[in-house]
Amino acid sequence: MSTDSTWLRCPNCSSALDAVDERVYGCASGHRFDRSKYGYLTLLPPKAPRTVGDDRDMLTARARLLERQVFAPIADVLNSFVSDDRATASAPRVADLGCGSGYYSARLVDSIPSARILVADRSPDAVRMALRAVPVATGVVLDIWRPIPVRDATADVILNVFAPRNPAEFRRILRPEGRLIVVVPTAAHLGELRVRGALLDIPPEKDAAVSDQLRSAGFARRAGRRVEYEVDADPELRAQLAGMGPSAHHSAALAVPDDDDVARVTVSVDVITFEVAHPS
């Protein structure tokens, strides 16, 4: 497990961040950051909010769900968008921002072993888990809502899967011919659980809202594909689906149905690719 410092810039002064010794990284201004024993760097800006991202229970539920390959068709489409894009390099630099357990990056490395991966999340538990899934990756704890401690124009691809977005920062770190790939749920996603109060509602036409948000930051929508299918949903799977995302924060108010009326659950997401808009 190693850290590729060519990704990194200092969260304090935005200077390039490089290895000082085996466990310490620093910039020319003298700011220093220790790499944890688990292999990741924590690069939070001064006075960063005390949010911690997804907790361990949510991540464990997500990891167990993903081990069952429930979202494998989504990963397959992500991989095809990266592999089929002639604008990306043969060894693409891929930043998985909001990486969670690292499932999608791990599937990408299986498909493109030459890919150079950055896994980043606000949750230290998530980054630790992602590095176990993708040992070749560089791991960083960061705050996506704040300036991202990644150098300008250094990513060929940004993955943003069910995660917060920082459009201006995404544009800054993406190379001119790079691609941003976003996965957003549709209103039908896990609908059988939502109508029974097990999950929070999803706003209608979320893909259009995301496209408008990114367009205002200088992105142009390039392609999109809806991925929709049903999965068999036993009680354990239903609990994992409810426990893996933001609805878990409201578990006291939401009830996971334990009857057999929810035998199958719909997975429905939009996978959308964006590029930096260039003046015509």
- Residues 213-239 pLDDT 10s: 999 999 999 999 999 999 988 888 887
Question: Rounded CA gap, 261 and 207, in Å?
Answer: 30
What local confidence, expressed as pLDDT, does residue 234 receive?
85
**C-alpha 218: how far from chain center:** 21
The pTM assigned to this predicted structure is: 0.89
E runs forming strands in the chain: 18-19, 24-26, 32-34, 40-42, 93-97, 116-121, 138-141, 155-161, 174-185, 219-232, 264-276
**C-alpha 59: how far from chain center:** 13
What local confidence, expressed as pLDDT, does residue 22 receive?
85
What local confidence, expressed as pLDDT, does residue 250 receive?
40
What local confidence, expressed as pLDDT, does residue 254 receive?
44
Return the amino acid letter for 170.
F
What local confidence, expressed as pLDDT, does residue 222 receive?
92
End-to-end CA distance of the chain: 44
What local confidence, expressed as pLDDT, does residue 15 receive?
96
- Distances in Å between the Cα of 95 and the Cα atoms of 49, 83, 214 are 23, 15, 17
What local confidence, expressed as pLDDT, does residue 278 receive?
77
What local confidence, expressed as pLDDT, does residue 264 receive?
84
Is residue 27 a contact partner of residue 16, using CB atoms and an 8 Å limit? Answer: yes
Is residue 127 a contact partner of residue 99, using CB atoms and an 8 Å limit? Answer: yes
What local confidence, expressed as pLDDT, does residue 206 receive?
77
List, for the chain, all residue ranges whose pLDDT scores fall below the cut of 70. 1, 48-53, 85-89, 196-201, 243-262, 279-280
- CATH annotation of 5-276: 3.40.50.150
What local confidence, expressed as pLDDT, does residue 252 receive?
41
Domain ranges of the chain: 5-276
What local confidence, expressed as pLDDT, does residue 133 receive?
95
